[in-house]
Amino acid sequence: MILDWKKILIPYKQAVEEIVVKFESIKNEYRELDKYSPIEFVTGRVKKVSSILDKAKKRGVPLEKIEDEIEDIAGIRIMCQFVEDIDKVVRLIKRRDGKDLKIICEKDYITNIKESGYRSYHVIIKYPVQTAFGEKEILAEIQIRTLAMNFWATIEHSLNYKFEGNIPQNVRERLKNAAEAAFKLDKEMSEIRDEIMEAQEAFQVKSTLIEDI
Ligand code: 0O2
């Protein structure tokens, strides 16, 4: 069986672009209203064909089932400043359930931290894409995390890539310590959250006034 990946990935690319714009718009709306935004920034990517095939092989997923079983071909990442913002973003997503997206499942790696030290909240959704040939529903994974969680996950991911999944024990230990430090950083930041939010709102108003001059 030969798959035409170029054709298969078109709706995934479109979905990622649309979903990123939707969450960026929410962020901009908060900012326009001089309100604190629970969304700091949003990124998205379509998984590389080689990574899709590697994941399918690792999980024993046959080619014809890839689109049903690999949930993160379309991946969206929403970064937040504080752990508390993650809940708010999840609520924003839930409010859209049954409207422009359907929630399939949630994976809470913040309460249930992964063995690696990974923390993040994942929401798997079904998203309808209007293509040139009609509607196609695709699966997408939205990862919601703080800046500290993202920093750690990005570094760990690149080390995993470098060591092809076999990170040496001493580096693994350091990563565990770094995960603990990122956890503490999030906790400390949460404790001074009100002060930070007020300062940022004041700064935003001041910048807007300067722009208006
Ligand atoms: P990419 O595109 O390279 O990021 P599994 O990996 O089988 O345990 P599963 O069931 O595929 O996980 O889904 P899960 O747990 O929701 O993880 C999917 C994605 O979450 C991963 O995608 C990563 O982006 C992220 N992730 C999960 N665990 C870790 C981790 O320990 N460290 C880091 N850095 N990221 C993690 P992929 O497949 O790695 O692809």
Domain residues for the domain of 23 are: 5-212
pLDDT in tens, 28-51: 999 999 899 999 999 999 999 999
Q: Are strands 74-80 and 41-46 parallel, antiparallel or unpaired?
A: antiparallel
pLDDT in tens, 59-112: 999 999 999 999 999 999 999 999 999 999 999 999 999 999 999 999 999 999
What total of structural domains would you count in the chain? Answer: 1
- Measured in angstroms, how far is the CA atom of residue 190 from the centroid of ligand 1? 26
pLDDT band at residue 206, thresholds of 50, 70 and 90? confident
**What is the ipTM metric for this complex?**
0.91
Whether the pTM exceeds 0.90: the reply is: yes
We report the CATH number of the domain holding residue 189 as 3.30.460.10
Give the residues surrounding ligand 1 with Cβ less than 6 Å away: 47, 51, 55, 72, 75, 107, 114, 116, 118, 122, 153, 156-157
